[in-house]
A and B are shown apart, each in its own frame.
Chain A
């Protein structure tokens, strides 16, 4: 079944001399929830626009449902879309807005009514049919946009930062609902965001974009724990990146300390040693030595509730962040305390600088 599949093959877009998207290739399976994640200017919105047809690719092919749609205008692509800022028509009420994709196709009236009712029910907006956008809260407007995107039962739905304007609580709530609806309808979702947490929560796979290219692509846990580059490591959550170099089968780090690193993680001769703060264990300096350990001194202690975050100064002036669970009987280290940091070989990688 290729109906909901999406593929980009070497797609490139230039504006003048600037290459905004540089040879992006990806393949998305039907029903997959796929996220394009990246900082602003990384080319994720342009990539989405090329999928939608608002922007025509200079090179490469855009395949939707197995068909070459590279030169087809937006209205021929049959996609559902949720826009940044929702793009709700102010002169139409909720029902008319949701019905829009059907009315432009001149669907029969009865069918429109039934589909609109169904879509509104799915986003829990039944009873709001005759309201106008300005009479709705941000969350309700978001739901109208969502209902409008799914009302025509598209196989593929594009979402461009759909939750960007919502506050944190509402955003979490909507994340769950969007995920739920997409699963129920079996749609392929291509989701653009710059919020890494959102990407990790919702996606089956994430493509992290950097300067027009895909830096890394994979399931959330994989890209989070095994970043291929310091950019991906730093962009997805917190990361410690310590100056290091390869030394035989081991890694030489600050103060001449030697570390073992995860399998296949020694691609680079000179680079940065990556380790997530929550993978670092902290203990009093007196504790015994072992593999992958560094002595240090606590600089700051931030109490975050369930987690205590330490900033620990290690030899050569580098600072390592360490998140310790505030579990039963946890001991707090005060600033100035000498401590010892440990991590497992499989949790750290040597990345190119």
Chain B
């Protein structure tokens, strides 16, 4: 398992569109992707769970990837969040 911490910077947070961008990209990797935020553990391949977690701008998150391609998945995940998920 590999993990990294970062911060959600896009204004909308994990609303429909940013969440869709994130989930869509993570679905391309075989490993499990999990987000830790506000004490919650969220399956980051599930748009429903990601949206229901209400992750907002400024939230500190930890991304964990575990399984095949975990390093590539983590790098891509951090890159997406740091670039604002198409919402900047």
Partners in one complex: no
A contacts, CB < 8 Å to B: none
The chain B residues found within 8 Å of chain A, CB to CB, are: none
